[in-house]
Structure 1
């Protein structure tokens, strides 16, 4: 059997009126021939681990979605050969409700995004994988037209560009994508040199993904339930296309996750209210065409991810407490259920090792 280790972050404490049933971080093996899950185990106790990332040297980083008074931390674990996690370190974060994190391409920094406080933090990472205290902070201000969801800034995504020392921020509350150069030697963010890309008011951007050459970006907008295509030319980012993958409804915007295949031919997005994954084909001009929408066999798919070979898609259905695998056709992009799933409380993040 050939397999990949999967780590799942599961909400473990109430958030507002939402009751959660998770146990922190669990892991399992995905059979890359059949899509079957095995070796399910509880690997770490964590309060509302909202986002996980793994590295090539067997590290796992995790943020927890909690209030500042609950002492939110950025956690680092070592992944053992059997999939167990050894806790290495916790570093305090100042922002509230951390919901995303990223590691820079050179492995020298980790950055976090905070929904509650509308802030983003930068942490140095040493050669021996030791996290330092936050070296700098971005604090957004402002609000958007959606009075219920955009009463203030809401950081929802952070990433590092590969071709320059730049942090990319996505703020759902103020409808902006920010590009922040940073000084690698000092660990300082050069905020005065930052550029902001203004998106349509009220769209509520949640995540962004880039093509390998970083001249095209695909922005998933939670509130307007669309994907906005941005193209970079002559030093400026411009909107090239707006695509609505799901049918209209009156339940409020709740698109959640977006992934781009390695060959850059297909994009997948999740709609939580629809309980669907949509497949979009990317043409040579970076326009998007809907291929299909498929039921996730559960409720409220908050996150999903692609296996290393892009042959499998694994989705976390938060409200039905199940994780499901789908076989992916690399030519058509279409998904087929493997008929394999397992139960785990309130899964919200999927990370392959």
Structure 2
């Protein structure tokens, strides 16, 4: 299989010179358990720390974190891309991009200033141009408000990720310990997303990344309290916290969970934990509203910033060790095995499977 890699470049203290290419076995293999090979740079870019596909077009969007903008790239070959239109400034330290299922817009999350920004996309996949406005006409949603204000020292918002769900999208604010629920814009390319609800998590938990489960639940991993919270919308559309589970074996203040990904059948969730450099596996129970710890295993890399599950293989990006590791996943138990393969890759921060 072929994967594209996001990474940190010189402006973020890393060695990546753009979007990288990783082969797990032959590029056209259906499985990812083969030998790993670094296949060079697909496109020059400035610290493209997160990558996302357009849902129907051969276009990839990169969050260029150090520059605070989003750049679209069109595919020019099996493993190459070229810029599509100019980069769109969105905010300080943009760290994540999510593209709407329709492909009409994308949502950029900005860690530095907490902004959640919508960028319109045209029929070619490029940021749309509005007369008299900058390409993409970025429109920020309502500013985040600290639900725990007055309970301690003043804090800053840190938007971390957006996840599209039925009826809109949700975004995590790591700085303000909240998950915000948004409706899609009503009309117009410049319309900002409409904030519908804020779900407050415990102070100091630090919600980072989330994944939507087929059962209709959202699993949110926290960077500071080392937990996974379970949220879902009720029959009236209001979201609520319905459960959660600690990442057993991790240590608060030493370990910092990063990504959460589901197994192919949705029976397990796997969380990457920076610090102890481990992978925590949890079992999905009941109707999907509860989670139970299964195992904590070595990830094989230093600072597992991101990982993906490709059927029976877990690929882990080690930001500080500048490598990708490959582990088997026992699909019956949800437990990753030992590292089988590894390859050097410049300061990787994200993996994106080819399609």
What's the TM-score bracket when you normalise by the shorter of the two chains?
Answer: 0.7 to 0.9
Which residue of structure 2 aligns with residue 260 of structure 1?
Answer: 262
* 1:113 counterpart residue number: 109
The count of residues paired between Structure 1 and Structure 2 equals 336
Residue 339 of structure 1, CA deviation:
2.2
Contact persistence 1:223–1:252 (CA under 8 A): no
| CA distance in 1 between partners of 2:88 and 2:343 (Å) | 33
Aligned to 2:132: none
- Deviations 1:97-117, CA, capped at 9 Å, x for gaps: 001111111111111000001
Distance, in Å, in 2 between the alignment partners of 1:184 and 1:13 is: 40
Match of 2:51 in 1: 52
Query: Contact 1:224–1:253 (CA<8 Å) still a contact in 2?
Result: no
Paired with 1:231 and 1:134, the residues of 2 have a C-alpha distance of 32
The change in CA–CA distance for 1:246 and 1:117 in structure 2 (over 3 A counts) is: same
Structure 2 regions of 5+ residues with no counterpart?
A: 26-30, 129-135
* Counterpart among 139, 143, 149 of residue 140 in structure 1: 143
Return structure 1 stretches of 4+ with deviation > 4 angstroms: 143-148
Q: TM-score normalised to the size of structure 2? A: 0.87
Q: Secondary structure at the match of 1:331?
A: coil
Asked whether the equivalents of residues 210 and 221 of structure 2 are also in contact (C-alpha less than 8 Å), the reply is yes
Alignment partner, residue 10 of structure 1: 7
Greater mean deviation of Cα atoms: 104-113 or 278-287:
278-287
Change (3 A) 1:33 1:137: closer
Structure 1 gaps of 5+ residues are none
Cα distance change, pair 210–278 in 1 and its aligned pair in 2 (3 A) = same
Query: How far apart in 1 are the matches of 2:48 and 2:246?
Result: 30
**Structure 1, residues 219-245: CA drift from partner, whole Å, max 9, x if none?**
111111110112332333332222111
Aligned residue runs from structure 1 range 83-122, under 5 A: 83-122=79-118
Instruction: Give the deviation of 1:184 after TM superposition.
Output: 5.2
Alignment of 1:151-166 (within 5 A): 151-161=155-165, 163-164=166-167, 166=168
Quote the RMSD (CA, aligned, Å): 2.3
Aligned to 1:173, the other structure's residue is in SS state: coil
Paired with 1:159 and 1:336, the residues of 2 have a C-alpha distance of: 29
Which residue of the partner structure matches residue 320 of structure 1? 321
| 8 Å CA contact retained: 2:225, 2:252 | no
Structure 1 residue 288: Cα displacement:
1.2
